[in-house]
Amino acid sequence: MFRTLKKYFDFANKVNRKKLVTAMLLGVLKAMFAMIKIPAIAAIVKEILEKNMDAATIWTSFGIMCVSVAGQVLIGLKTTMLQTEAGYNTCAGKRIEIAEHLRYLPMGFFNANSLGRITNITTNTMEQLADVATLVVMITTQGIITTAVIFVFLAFFDIRIALILLVGILLFSFFNTMMQRATRPAAPRVSKAGESLVSAVIEYIQGIAEVKNFNLTEKTAKKLESAIREKQGADAGMEMTVIPYMFLQGLATKLTGVVMCLASVFFYLTGSMPLLYAIIMTISSFMIYESLDMMGGFSALMRNVNIIVDQANEVLVLPPMDIDGADMVPMQTSIELKDVSFAYEDKKIIDDVSLKIPAGTTTAIVGPSGGGKTTLTNLMARFWDVQSGEVLLGGKNVKEYSFDSLMKNFSFVFQRVYLFEDTIANNIRFGSPEAPMEKVIEAAKKARCHDFIMSLPEGYDTIIGEGGASLSGGEKQRISIARAIMKDAPVIILDEATANVDPENEAELTKAIEELTRNKTIIMIAHRLKTVRHADRIFVVDGGKIVQEGTHEELMGQPGIYRNFVNERKEAVSWKIA
């Protein structure tokens, strides 16, 4: 338990840790206020026993008890506020820290780890940190402090009763430690079940249209139900593990109070303890029972704090890419790859590739699916780090740039566009949040999306659904191009940008791309002939290697993948129903 509390304190940042320590110190004061009730009660009991009751004693004792209650309430409010602030601020801070950390992890991490895991940690796990963990730490620490103060108080009056309490505390701690150890093997299953459930829910919701289209509702629902049942089983298994230790812990708490009462009576009857002390010890036994019982009930949840901190740290300890380069602007935007190789896990994706892309030129990358085209462009922008070789921008290794200064040089238009649940204007100015509305409209006009935006009920203030669900594919693409125009980066990477666009949107999209790419260094991945034939240089990638390179005319003059590619496209275009 103490190890988990220390882990939680270390997990919080310096400011929140200070609040927690302050709350603990105030907890000592609160426990002392609770203890001053006993002398007040003792004074009245003494007067009753001596049959010498007077009004002054009654009013003094009453005043002390009022001060005790008021002190506990006021300090309790302050400690609760401090611990709550520390808990929620730690949660918010760690979410931001995790988001920043994810930003600088290689893209391979996101391929190897499910969306469910990341979502579970940043939502459910952090929410538990704010709610459950804060409450558990608050009550557990207050229970420890109150028990310690009562122990010191009892030791001052009668060391024998204090030793009985010490034995009870040691038994309580032993059973609590055993409980924490017993739940440790089950923790990974609970964590994994939570991640799987989140993944299953996300997959079910995102794929609901396809599920209904292929009438697979029952099959997909069974998969979701299976994830729910697994989570239920994992949680139930954890609770069944805890119950026996909770019983033993509660038994130790109750027996400690009972033994303290019986011992006090015994010592009084044998003449080794005054009646007044025996009464004080009996009252103290009830207070210690309340303190230990409350602490025991919540200490079972201490395992959640342990799991939460470990899950968050699993992400934070992942080694990020080296991003501590210099903030600099390249003199020109040529790109060069020298003997570059890259493997994802055990699979080699790029194999000893060298190429040069002069500044201000248009380069097309074509080839069979899975050949490494997208990976090649990701390496240029340093979404991944190469395993061997080097990537140069403006004659300097991309690792010499700070990550933020490197990203300023690249804009991307992907085949699949993601728009945020926000206004259209804010989606366009996403990379430049302070940009005035005039700039947003100017970019939208260049991207050929101003007209359809103005036809919407709220114009640029129209809220679009998450992922841009309320817009067509062509409309989303043009908004993403407007966003790229706003960024005005010198290097544009187009990854199958027109692949899934209907013919009536294609003409507008082509004009938008022309506006985006004017006077830029352009790298495009495409399957359509008309998008690559006018490129200054074409690289044909297959099996992670560059198997051909040249202009359209040069490649058409030699046998190989490119000529086959062009001929297949021509046959597809000329194909008609007889």
Closest CA relative to residue 90, chosen from 141, 133, 27, 143: 133
Statement: residue 335 has pLDDT above 90: yes
Q: Write down the pLDDT at residue 196.
A: 76
Q: How far is CA 286 from the centre of its chain?
A: 43
Place of tokens 């509305």: 437
Band the pLDDT of 578: cuts 50, 70, 90. very low
Band the pLDDT of 485: cuts 50, 70, 90. confident
Band the pLDDT of 1: cuts 50, 70, 90. low
Statement: residue 338 has pLDDT above 90: yes
How far apart CA 385 and CA 400 sit, in angstroms, is 12
Under a CB-based contact definition with an 8 Å cutoff, are residues 245 and 302 in contact? no
Q: How far is CA 284 from the centre of its chain?
A: 45
Band the pLDDT of 55: cuts 50, 70, 90. confident
Task: Give the whole-number percent of the chain exceeding pLDDT 90.
Answer: 4
Tell me which of 83-97, 270-284, 525-539 is least confident: 525-539
Q: For 288-291, which contacts have Cβ atoms below 8 Å and span 24 or more sequence positions?
A: 288/147, 288/150, 288/165, 288/168, 288/256, 288/257, 288/260, 289/253, 289/254, 289/256, 289/257, 291/143, 291/146, 291/147, 291/150
Phi and psi at 223, nearest 5°, equal -65, -40
Q: Write down the pLDDT at residue 356.
A: 92
Closest CA relative to residue 497, chosen from 520, 470, 531, 464: 531
How far apart CA 354 and CA 340 sit, in angstroms, is 6
Q: Write down the pLDDT at residue 214.
A: 54
Q: Write down the pLDDT at residue 314.
A: 76
Q: Write down the pLDDT at residue 506.
A: 65
Token pair belonging to 470: 């309320």
Predicted structure pTM score: 0.62
Q: Write down the pLDDT at residue 112.
A: 46
Tell me whether strands 537-542 and 545-550 are parallel, antiparallel or unpaired: antiparallel
57-69 core/surface letters (b: 16 or more CB in 10 A; e: else): beeebeebbeebe
Task: Report the run of H or E that residue 342 belongs to, with start and end.
Answer: strand 335-344
Statement: residue 114 has pLDDT above 60: no
Statement: residue 522 has pLDDT above 50: yes
| Alpha-carbon separation of residue 544 from 2, 17, 91, 434 (angstroms) | 53, 50, 43, 41
How far apart CA 543 and CA 368 sit, in angstroms, is 9
Average pLDDT over residues 516-534: 78
Statement: residue 50 has pLDDT above 60: yes
Statement: residue 570 has pLDDT above 60: yes
3-state class (DSSP) for residue 118? helix
Altogether, the residues listed in the chain come to a count of 578
Under a CB-based contact definition with an 8 Å cutoff, are residues 316 and 104 in contact? no
* Strand-by-strand arrangement of the 410-414 sheet: 410-414, 491-495, 521-525, 362-366, 537-542, 545-550
Statement: residue 576 has pLDDT above 50: no
Token pair belonging to 138: 């608050």
Rg value, the chain, Cα:
34
Average pLDDT over residues 302-315: 75
Q: How far is CA 469 from the centre of its chain?
A: 24
Q: What is the DSSP code string of 346-369?
A: TEEEEEEEEEEE-TT-EEEEE-ST
Statement: residue 408 has pLDDT above 70: yes
Token pair belonging to 149: 């103060």
Q: Mean pLDDT score of the chain, rounded to an integer?
A: 80
Q: Write down the pLDDT at residue 4.
A: 72
Residues paired with 391 in a beta bridge: 337
Place of tokens 């804060």: 134
| Alpha-carbon separation of residue 550 from 540, 555, 562 (angstroms) | 9, 6, 10
pLDDT tens digit sequence for 348-372? 889 889 999 999 888 889 888 888 8
Average pLDDT over residues 501-522: 73
Token pair belonging to 536: 């200054």
How far apart CA 240 and CA 36 sit, in angstroms, is 41
Domains of the chain with CATH codes: 2-316 (1.20.1560.10), 344-409+523-573 (3.40.50.300)
pLDDT tens digit sequence for 207-247? 665 555 555 566 667 777 888 888 888 878 877 887 888 88
Task: Give the whole-number percent of the chain exceeding pLDDT 70.
Answer: 87
Statement: residue 25 has pLDDT above 50: yes
Closest CA relative to residue 241, chosen from 185, 309, 192, 169: 185
Token pair belonging to 269: 């009857």
Statement: residue 400 has pLDDT above 70: yes
